[in-house]
Chains A and B, each alone.
Chain A
Amino acid sequence: MPSNAAITPSTLSVKDFAWQILWNKEKCTLCGQCTAVCPVHAIELGVFRKRVVETSLNLSEKSSAFYKVYNGIRQRTDPAYACIGCATCTMVCPNDAIIPMKTDETDKLKFHVNRGGTPRSRGGRRNVSEGILDQIKFIRISMLTDPALDAGRHEFELRTLLGRVLAPEEQLKALQTNGWIPPVREIYPLIIGAMSFGALSPPMWEGLQMGVAYLNEELKMPVRMCTGEGGCPPRLLRSRFLKYVILQIASGYFGWDEIIHAIPEMKVDPCAIEIKYGQGAKPGDGGLLMWYKVNELIAAIRGVPAGVSLPSPPTHQTKYSIEESVAKMIQSMYMAWGFRVPVYPKISGTSTAMAVLNNLSRNPYAAGLTIDGEDGGTGAAYNVSMNHMGHPIATNIRDAYTTLCAIGMQNEIPLFAGGGIGKNGNLAANAAALIMLGASGVHIGKYIMQAAAGCVGSESDRCNVCNIGQCPKGITSQDPRLYRRLDMEKVAERVVDVYLSFDTELKKIVAPLGRSTSLPIGMSDALGISDHAAAQRLAIKYVV
């Protein structure tokens, strides 16, 4: 920019951006792959003019200066084309000549991402890396009086229950009188949480399904996966693999016409039905699939026209009270499958979660409660919702469990926790901490995208363009040119890797605690933390 040019309020320099492209002229081959691959067109071919001074050793000749032109990479400074730090350029560069670097200060771009009066929206999750779950330690190590177990060779029963478990007295009575016994599934406590077909690309979604099927059929691990609100491909609805699937219904009811019509043709029942009332990443907001991603396939599965944004309402529009929203809807869904399929609600973490839980405790059909904490991820939401709305999962789960203990129903309504589990890579430790705080199992979304497909999103606002379908890895894109980068077979392999390694790590946690006969749900005496206030709040030990 010339020094006398007009500047506008949103005229920024590269320094003002969150990510700066470092480019090495010496290494660059000018192949152009980086500019071709950049999902947000943050870099472009640059033509640079450079003054060169040439001095001669011969005193009789005058030194001269002249201008040379060279080609290279230029980072655009229009906020609309800001680099997102995905480093796809780095990935494709044959000579490692280019890499985005995070700025060393708060970027100024933050103040200019609302041009046209539209606040920033994005995918990903809250950009906060720390969390209480990583601070929790497992302190009750078995020593001598109750020997620690051999994680590698001992037998472990690590499954959990999804479904309404009757109180022992009621269960025996139901058996004697041939009464109705609510359906209960014995499942692995790590569930692939709700990510819709639409939010995810076809190879990602199918890769997950294939991995889940392999874990069940070949490795006998009863892993389950939730569809999210996007319907379910017709072929899967009519296959025997449907039993590994939790179908989600949410306020947009996307895909449910197809599902309801497939019921008579279903070979097996689905694992469960999840009724989504809220999502941790954008509590109080409905789901959103932006128009970029609504191609003909997605539109057909969801039963909507192609090319339009699909926002679900924040709440189920036909319901106005908790009794209606929860009780009637749960019962209707039970009825659809002849009372053979567990139906449970999922809510976002909130200080009002106990009101929902108390309501469920009085509803004999409620098969569980999933609470999605503030660290949960999403394909699309306003930045402010992601960063500032929501409730941490740890206290929500702990309060819910102690509430159930107080009314004696802690074995009857299983609680599942979601939201940021393993966000720093400590999946098994985070999951075990939540289980010992009272969760019957955990849901993961972002983690499996990162681990099984190489999602580059992080807690430093990197990438996060899931919303516009430009995912550089093809995980959340509906553009075949992008999603062909992802090999679904390899995704399935990674899903299996993740579950096997999680299983080993979970055993390495429970074995030293002396636990093997049952999943240590609510074993709060095993937990410690060096934060006194947190210890008191969670009713676990304070250790320094």
Chain B
Amino acid sequence: MCRLFAITSEEPLSPMIAIDALNVMKEGHDGSGVGLFMRDLAGPFEDMKDAPVLSGIFTESGLRRLDRHMMDIGFMTKFKMSIKVAKTPPAGVPKRAIYLIRAYELPEEWDQYGQEKIYEKLVETRLQLRRMGEEENDMIVFSFWPDVIMIKEIGDPMAVAKHLQLDRKDLRARIIMAQGRQNTNYAINLYACHPFFLRGFSTMTNGENTAFVPIKEYLSSRGYPGYMGYQSDSEVFTHILHYMHKKLRLGLESYKHIITPLQDDDLEKHPDGDFLRYLKRCCRKLIIDGPNCVIGCIPDHTLFMVQDRKKLRPGVVGGRPGMFAFSSEICGLDASIEDRDKSKDFQPMYLDMAVVGPDRQEVKICRQTQPLHHLH
């Protein structure tokens, strides 16, 4: 089983807090890999919030190809964070040439574009790099987005973190999501490692989505280039989140109504029952069939946790104003935010979505049976 941990904090934190939390939950995962997502960055990235940051793993020749390509299309390197690793990686971690975290200046010709267009161009650029990397097997690209860093690697999370020296002082973020295992249901591939990222949206998941194939087919047929990959069944959660926000223009509170809609009796009683019934019908192909616990982050820095209808996966949220964490297990919460009111820890059940907004002041519980706030 995967173990998940996510934290949002007013004060920037080292990713080690998440690695430590995964470590205390080690009994629950096999330590076969780690995926990290960092947003609302501090340190050197604090002053370049608009500059897209490229995160990935490159071979020497891959890096040369990257540089040529990025120059060709007009990107200039603005800042790079060098990760120096020992020549011999720890047991279970592959030898890599370059772990890249690099911020770019946007091409000058993009000045003419509006913000939305720039975001779409960034998605295109990342997909292009991914395709190039897959052709020569020399680049793996996790994200290319302003104020976002992603790191993924095979191996024990703590060993990988030490190897990559993730405790360095200049690597700090106010939102961190971490996951502690390589996927087991499909071939091992870093593109199958959670968290997944698409155009500002990121999710990671515990459990297996048994409705994966029809959902994948549906998303693939939406005509959006970012709906690709699908090395993991969990990738669809990120894409559904994106589809809901960007294509359907619905808010986060609709997410659970799309992936695990209410059943008839509850819809009858719901004040927005008519709307929700139509939503359920038209988004029928996006209904997941867990067991799944999903933790995600949207561009406005909101962090959330949602359980599927079966609620067969663990998940807890707790913290104090200014700092909240989502964790697969309570021991992960204890390891990261000890000084909290534990009586307020909350384990979302099959109707709940727990949300911590950008202000980080409280955990809001959206229960599916409650009225919707913003009807579209």
| Residues from chain A with Cβ under 8 Å of B214 in the complex | 410, 520-523
Which of B211, B249, B288 has most A Cβ within 10 Å? B211
The count of chain A contact residues (Cβ–Cβ below 8 Å) is: 41
| B291 interface contact, C-beta 8 A | yes
Type the 1/0 row for B181-209, where 1 means its CB is closer than 8 Å to any CB of A.
00011000000000000000000000110
B213 touches A146 (CB 8 A): no
Segment 294-335 of B: residues with Cβ below 8 Å from A: 308-310, 312
Interface residue A515 (Cβ < 8 Å from any Cβ of B)? yes
Q: Tell me if A147 and B312 are in contact (CB < 8 A).
A: yes
Assess whether B289 is in contact with A514, with CB atoms less than 8 Å apart. Answer: yes
Q: A168 contacts B247, CB within 8 Å? A: yes
Bound complex: CA of A148 vs CA of B285, how far in Å?
21
CB-contacts of B62-114 with A (<8 A): none
The answer to the question of B370 belonging to the interface, with a C-beta cut-off of 8 Å to chain A, is no
A170 vs B312: C-alpha distance when bound (angstroms): 34
Interface size, chain B (Cβ < 8 Å): 40
Q: How far is the CA of A172 from the CA of B249 in the complex (A)?
A: 9
A410 in contact with B218 (CB, 8 Å): yes
Name the interface residues of B208-249: CB closer than 8 Å to any CB of A.
Answer: 208, 210-214, 217-218, 221-223, 247-249
By beta carbon, the residue of chain B nearest A222 is B264
B287 touches A518 (CB 8 A): yes
Query: How far, in angstroms, from A172 to B185 measured CA to CA in the complex?
Result: 35
Q: Across the interface, which residues of B come within 8 angstroms of A520, CB to CB?
A: 211, 214, 289
Closest to A524 in B: B213
- Chain A residues with CB under 8 Å of B1's CB are 145
Kindly list chain A residues whose C-beta atoms are within 8 Å of the C-beta of B282. Answer: 165-168, 170-172, 411
* Contact residues of A between 502 and 533, Cβ < 8 Å to B: 513-518, 520-525
Alpha-carbon separation in the docked complex, A157 to B310 (Å):
12
Give A406 to B222 CA distance when docked, in angstroms: 10
Contacts of A521 in B (CB 8 A): 214
A260 adjacent to chain B (CB < 8 Å) = no
- Least CB separation from A522: chain B residue: B214
Residues 247 to 273 of chain B near chain A (Cβ within 8 Å): 247-250, 260, 263-264
Q: Which single residue of chain B is at the shortest CB-CB distance from A144?
A: B1
User: Is the CB–CB distance between B247 and A169 below 8 Å?
Assistant: yes
Q: B290 contacts the other chain (Cβ, under 8 Å)?
A: yes
- Chain B, Cβ-Cβ closest to A411: B285
B168 is an interface residue with CB less than 8 A from chain A: no
In contact, A516 and B309 (Cβ under 8 angstroms): yes
Alpha-carbon distance between A170 and B308 when the two chains are bound, in angstroms: 26
* Chain B residues within an 8 Å CB radius of A155: 263, 309
Return chain A residues, CB-CB under 8 Å to B376: 172, 175-176
List chain A residues, Cβ under 8 A from B208: 142, 145-146, 514
Is A500 an interface residue when CB atoms closer than 8 A count as contact? no
Measured CB to CB, the nearest residue on chain A to B264 is A186
Is A407 part of the binding interface, using a Cβ–Cβ cutoff of 8 Å? yes
Contact of A146 among B207, B217, B249 (CB under 8 A): B207
- Chain B residues within an 8 Å CB radius of A166: 282
**B289:A408 contact, CB within 8 angstroms:** no
CB <8 Å contact, A522 and B217: yes
In the complex, residue of chain A having the shortest beta-carbon distance to the beta carbon of B287? A518
CA distance A349 to B285 in the complex (A): 25
- Which one of A140, A184, A405, A517 contacts B281 once the chains associate, using CB atoms below 8 Å? A184
Closest-by-CB residue of A relative to B313 is A146
A interface majority secondary structure:
loop
A181 within 8 A of B: yes
Q: Are A172 and B210 in contact (CB under 8 A)?
A: no
Cross-chain contact B281 with A161 (CB below 8 angstroms) = yes
Measured CB to CB, the closest approach of chain B to A309, in angstroms, equals 44
B86 to chain A, nearest CB (A): 34
- In the bound complex, residues from chain A placing their C-beta under 8 Å from that of B285 are 410-411
A522–B210 Cα distance when bound, in Å, is 12
Q: Are B213 and A161 in contact (CB under 8 A)?
A: no
Whether the pair A513, B217 counts as a contact (CB closer than 8 A) is no
What residue in chain B is nearest A402 (Cβ atoms)?
B217
B217 interface neighbour in A145, A170, A410, Cβ under 8 Å: A410
Task: Across the interface, name the chain A residue whose C-beta is closest to B233.
Answer: A146
B213 to A523, Cβ gap below 8 A? Answer: yes
Q: Which of B221, B250, B260 contacts A405 (CB 8 A)?
A: B221
Contact mask for chain A residues 169-190; partner B; CB cutoff 8 A; 1 contact, 0 none: 1111001100001001010000
A490 to B: closest C-beta gap in Å: 31
Q: Does B284 contact A (CB under 8 A)?
A: yes
B289 touches A411 (CB 8 A): no
Q: Complex Cα distance A171/B289, Å?
A: 23
Instruction: Name the residue in A171, A407, A515, A524 with the highest tally of chain B Cβ atoms < 10 Å from its Cβ.
Output: A171
Which residues does chain B contribute within 8 Å of A176, judged by CB atoms? 376
Cβ–Cβ contact B310 & A168, under 8 A: no
- A154 CA to B210 CA in the complex, in Å? 16
- A contact residues around B185 at 8 Å (CB): 145
CB distance from A179 to the nearest CB of B (A): 12
A146 and B211 contacting across the interface, CB-CB below 8 Å: no
**Contacting residue for B284 out of A142, A145, A161, A516, CB 8 A:** A161
Give bound CA distance, A407 to B222, whole Å.
9
Q: Which of A390-446 contact B (CB under 8 A)?
A: 405-408, 410-411
> In whole angstroms, how far apart are the Cα atoms of A406 and B217 in the complex?
9
Closest CB of chain B to A480's CB: distance in Å? 43
> Which chain B residues numbered 353 to 375 have a C-beta less than 8 Å away from chain A?
none
Q: Are A171 and B284 touching (Cβ within 8 A)?
A: no
Asked if B278 and A181 make an inter-chain contact with CB atoms under 8 angstroms apart, the answer reads yes
Task: Report the Cα distance A176→B213, complex, angstroms.
Answer: 31
Q: Any chain A CB within 8 A of the CB of B48?
A: no
**Whole-angstrom distance between the Cβ of B255 and the nearest chain A Cβ:** 13
CB of A514 within 8 A of CB of B210, answer yes
Chain A neighbourhood of B278, CB < 8 A: 171, 175, 181
Counting chain A CB atoms within 10 Å of each CB, the highest count among B218, B260, B284, B309 belongs to B284
**Smallest CB separation, B69 vs chain A (Å):** 31
| Cα distance A517–B258 in the bound complex, in angstroms | 12
Partner of B210, one of A142, A165, A181, A524: A142
A residues in contact with B248, CB < 8 Å: 168-169, 172
By a CB distance below 8 angstroms, the chain A residues around B264 are 186
Q: Tell me whether B221 and A406 are in contact (CB under 8 A).
A: yes
Closest to B310 in A: A516
Judge whether B283 is part of the interface by a CB distance below 8 angstroms.
yes
Chain B residue with minimal CB distance to A515? B289
Query: Chain B residues near A172 (CB, 8 Å)?
Result: 248-250, 279, 282, 376
Q: In angstroms, how far is the closest chain B Cβ from the Cβ of A189?
A: 13
Task: Name the contact of B213 in the complex, choosing from A147, A149, A522 (C-beta under 8 A).
Answer: A522
Closest 3 interchain pairs by CB? A408-B221, A146-B208, A514-B210
Known pairs A149-B310, A515-B210, A523-B214 / 7 extra A-B pairs, C-beta < 8 Å = A146-B207, A146-B291, A147-B312, A405-B218, A410-B218, A514-B289, A525-B212
19 CB < 8 A contacts A-B: A154-B310, A161-B284, A168-B248, A168-B283, A169-B247, A172-B249, A172-B279, A175-B278, A184-B281, A186-B264, A411-B284, A514-B210, A515-B210, A515-B289, A516-B309, A517-B287, A517-B289, A518-B284, A522-B214
